[in-house]
């Protein structure tokens, strides 16, 4: 096989986004995928691209803001190159306020948001949201969040890459990264990245299962994403309305759904009455890749010059993936991207428990 500049392991949102950013910089790239594009956690149903809460601003929130603000032009370019939809639409988000304390906190945030979000999105406290159940202290309605159809998005990204001449080798499980004929290797294997990092402390990785569903309900075009206590309701237009997700650290079967999903669906029906008892079109479960921290992680693998890790998208991978891919491309091409400290491999490795000193004999 012809020598590559970069071989990428994994065709999820992280691997494909890295491939996109690298080919844009003129590098000869190929992607190696064990199963098929989007076979991992990027092939799900939910697709909420939503920000962290705007207070206590830090480098991580600034990075995420940039990711969310650039998502619109990123997905427009992908759709144009692929001639396929991604399902992206900036529809904003509604957050119910259930107490006076939350209402007051939301009002304070409303004052800070124009500056923090650079005037690019709004955060208002409103009395109600059409289609949503009444909430005792109103709602926050923000305009930064967007929806993306995960399956359509990774499909479009893969097609855009192919149209740019990038080969995606589906059904090619990489056992040994060093066997790939490339100047640089990128490990973007989601929660299976642990396979390529045997020297890292066991506690570095956890795969966190999530279950979700697509309901056969078309909510009005004006309807935002709705979020409360871990439950997301994401209107995907005529495709239906996605509801997610469970958060399970202990699991045996990665792909099954069970009664814990029913609980999420009940909560969704309480938030948006039109979803109560609605027919289920599809269900899906996947494993979120979580690194040592709940933040994504990028960096050169210890002891190597040319092997890179790009993983740990956890709950925000679909939103932050393209920006993480661009960050990795900058690192590989010798630029100096701005990376929040907690996203670096060194930082996350340092957060693992130190090795126990050998017992004195």
By beta-carbon proximity to ligand FAD, the closer residue of 9 and 78 is 9
Query: Using CA atoms, how far apart are residues 323 and 335, in angstroms rounded to an integer?
Result: 15
Question: Is there binding between residue 316 and ligand FAD (CB under 6 A)?
Answer: yes
Q: Which of 286, 299, 322, 325 binds ligand FAD (CB under 6 A)?
A: 286
SS3 193: helix
Question: Is there binding between residue 245 and ligand FAD (CB under 6 A)?
Answer: yes
* Minimum distance of ligand FAD from residue 233's CB (angstroms): 11
Q: Which of 155, 240, 299, 319 binds ligand FAD (CB under 6 A)?
A: 319
Pick the piece of the chain touching ligand FAD (CB under 6 A) from 10-18, 69-77, 84-92, 130-138: 10-18
Query: How many secondary structure helices (H) and strands (E) does the chain include?
Result: 7, 16
Q: Note whether 169 and 7 are within 8 A (CB).
A: no
By beta-carbon proximity to ligand FAD, the closer residue of 27 and 188 is 188
Q: Note whether 312 and 13 are within 8 A (CB).
A: no
Query: Using CA atoms, how far apart are residues 180 and 182, in angstroms rounded to an integer?
Result: 6
Question: Is there binding between residue 187 and ligand FAD (CB under 6 A)?
Answer: no
* Minimum distance of ligand FAD from residue 328's CB (angstroms): 12
Question: Is there binding between residue 271 and ligand FAD (CB under 6 A)?
Answer: no
Query: Using CA atoms, how far apart are residues 9 and 30, in angstroms rounded to an integer?
Result: 9
The mark string for 20-49 relative to ligand FAD (x by CB under 6 A, - otherwise) is ------------xxxx---xxxx-x-xxxx
Q: Which of 7, 9, 185, 339 binds ligand FAD (CB under 6 A)?
A: 9
Listing DSSP states for 316-337 in one string gives THHHHHHHHHHHHHHHHTT---
Question: Is there binding between residue 192 and ligand FAD (CB under 6 A)?
Answer: yes
Query: Using CA atoms, how far apart are residues 272 and 126, in angstroms rounded to an integer?
Result: 16
Q: Note whether 68 and 44 are within 8 A (CB).
A: no
* Minimum distance of ligand FAD from residue 44's CB (angstroms): 5
Question: Is there binding between residue 224 and ligand FAD (CB under 6 A)?
Answer: no
Q: Note whether 321 and 13 are within 8 A (CB).
A: yes
Question: Is there binding between residue 153 and ligand FAD (CB under 6 A)?
Answer: no
Pick the piece of the chain touching ligand FAD (CB under 6 A) from 94-102, 306-314, 336-344, 350-358: 306-314
Structure tokens at 247: 């958060």
By beta-carbon proximity to ligand FAD, the closer residue of 138 and 204 is 204
The dihedral sign for the CA sequence 181, 186, 189, 191: positive
Pick the piece of the chain touching ligand FAD (CB under 6 A) from 136-144, 270-278, 317-325, 343-351: 317-325
CA distances from 91 to 119, 202, 225, 236, 291 (A): 17, 40, 7, 10, 30
Residues 6+ away with beta carbon under 8 Å from 46: 150, 212, 232, 234, 242, 243, 244, 245
If 0-12 CB within 10 Å is exposed, 13-18 middle and 19+ buried, where does residue 336 land? Answer: exposed
Pick the piece of the chain touching ligand FAD (CB under 6 A) from 5-13, 138-146, 158-166, 339-347: 5-13
By beta-carbon proximity to ligand FAD, the closer residue of 138 and 286 is 286
Residues that bind ligand FAD (CB under 6 A): 9-15, 32-35, 39-42, 44, 46-49, 173-174, 188-190, 192, 195, 210, 212, 232, 244-245, 286, 288-289, 311, 313-319
């Amino acid at each position: 096989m012809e020598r590559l500049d970069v071989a990428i392991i994994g065709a999820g949102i992280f691997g494909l986004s890295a491939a996109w950013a690298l080919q844009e910089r003129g590098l000869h790239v190929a992607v190696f995928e064990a199963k098929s594009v989007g076979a991992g956690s990027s092939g799900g149903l939910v697709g909420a691209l939503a920000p962290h809460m705007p207070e206590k601003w830090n480098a991580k929130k600034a990075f995420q803001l940039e990711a969310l603000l650039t998502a619109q032009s990123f997905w427009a370019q992908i759709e144009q190159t692929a001639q396929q939809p991604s399902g992206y639409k900036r529809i904003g988000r509604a957050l119910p306020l259930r107490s006076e304390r939350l209402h007051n906190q939301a009002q304070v945030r409303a004052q800070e948001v124009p500056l923090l979000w650079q005037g690019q999105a709004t955060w208002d406290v409103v009395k109600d949201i059409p289609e949503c159940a009444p909430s005792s202290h109103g709602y926050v309605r923000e305009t930064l969040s967007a929806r993306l159809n995960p399956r359509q998005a990774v499909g479009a990204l893969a097609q855009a890459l192919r149209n740019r001449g990038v080969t995606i080798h589906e059904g090619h499980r990489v056992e040994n990264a060093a066997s790939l004929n490339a100047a640089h290797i990128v490990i973007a294997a989601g929660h299976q990245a642990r396979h390529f990092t045997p020297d890292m402390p066991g506690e570095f990785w956890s795969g966190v299962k999530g279950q979700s569903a697509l309901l056969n309900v078309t909510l009005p075009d004006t309807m935002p994403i709705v979020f409360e206590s871990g439950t997301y309701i994401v209107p995907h237009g005529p495709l239906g309305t996605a509801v997610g997700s469970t958060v399970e650290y202990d699991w045996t079967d990665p792909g099954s759904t069970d009664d814990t999903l029913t609980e999420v669906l009940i909560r969704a029906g309480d938030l948006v009455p039109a979803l109560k008892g609605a027919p289920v079109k599809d269900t899906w479960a996947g494993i979120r890749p979580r690194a040592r921290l709940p933040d994504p992680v990028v960096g050169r693998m210890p002891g190597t010059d040319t092997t890179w890790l790009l993983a740990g998208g956890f709950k925000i991978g679909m939103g932050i993936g393209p920006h993480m891919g661009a960050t990795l491309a900058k690192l590989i091409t010798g630029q100096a991207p701005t990376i929040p400290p907690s996203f670096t491999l060194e930082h996350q490795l340092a957060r693992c428990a130190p090795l126990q000193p050998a017992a004195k004999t």
